[in-house]
Amino acid sequence: MSIGLTLLGLLESGPCHGYDLKRAYDDRFGQDRPVHYGQVYSTLARLLRDGLVEANGLEAGGGPERKRYAITSAGVTDVVNWLATPEKPELYLQNTLYTKVVLALLSGRGAVEVLDIQRSAHLRTMRELTRRKTQGDLADQLICDHALFHLEADLRWLELTAARLDQLAERVRA
């Protein structure tokens, strides 16, 4: 995810301090990986340098002056363009799991065990996500659904590979 474009998008609702942007980011997108303050401020410095945000006043407080940032029209244009650009679908054509299965077959080790271990890990993660989804808000539910759908596709692949393991073993050993 582009931190810069995400911060710009958050700034569209109004000028903010870096601290407020970090909190807004973490509340909406950082449940599993919060953004660091240093990353927020270095990103804001780059956005300021590039003319995508502007300083919108300074406030004195108990510590150093707090700078407010506002999005510029160029920043809005970048957000509009980013939102209109589709994300590249992730293709897992060089999958580590497939590599492990082939190497297990080549070495005479148990490819079925590789698939079973992975299936167990997927199911465990799916149970955790389902639990999180039932206890979370709408954003958490949608994020968990996205991950669960990907894990379900992986499980289908695991089942298909297990069903074709004899064929794959013949080809790999040939």
Q: What is the pLDDT of residue 15?
A: 94
pLDDT in tens, the chain (174 residues): 689 999 999 999 999 999 999 999 988 887 778 899 999 999 999 999 999 999 987 666 655 667 899 999 999 999 999 998 877 777 765 578 888 999 899 888 889 999 999 999 999 999 999 999 999 889 889 999 999 999 999 999 999 999 999 999 999 888
The secondary structure of 99-164 as a DSSP string is HHHHHHHHHT--HHHHHHHHHHHHHHHHHHHHHHHHHS-HHHHHHHHHHHHHHHHHHHHHHHHHHT
Q: Is 171 helix (H, G, I), strand (E, B) or coil?
A: helix
Q: Tell me how many degrees the CA angle 64-70-72 measures, rounded to the nearest 5.
A: 140
Q: What is the pLDDT of residue 27?
A: 86
Q: What is the pLDDT of residue 109?
A: 85
Nearest to 97 by CA among 112, 124, 115: 115
Q: What is the pLDDT of residue 64?
A: 60
CA Rg, the chain, in Å?
23
**Segment holding 46, helix H or strand E:** helix 37-49
The secondary structure of 78-101 as a DSSP string is HHHHHHHSPPPPP--SS-HHHHHH
Q: What is the pLDDT of residue 107?
A: 84
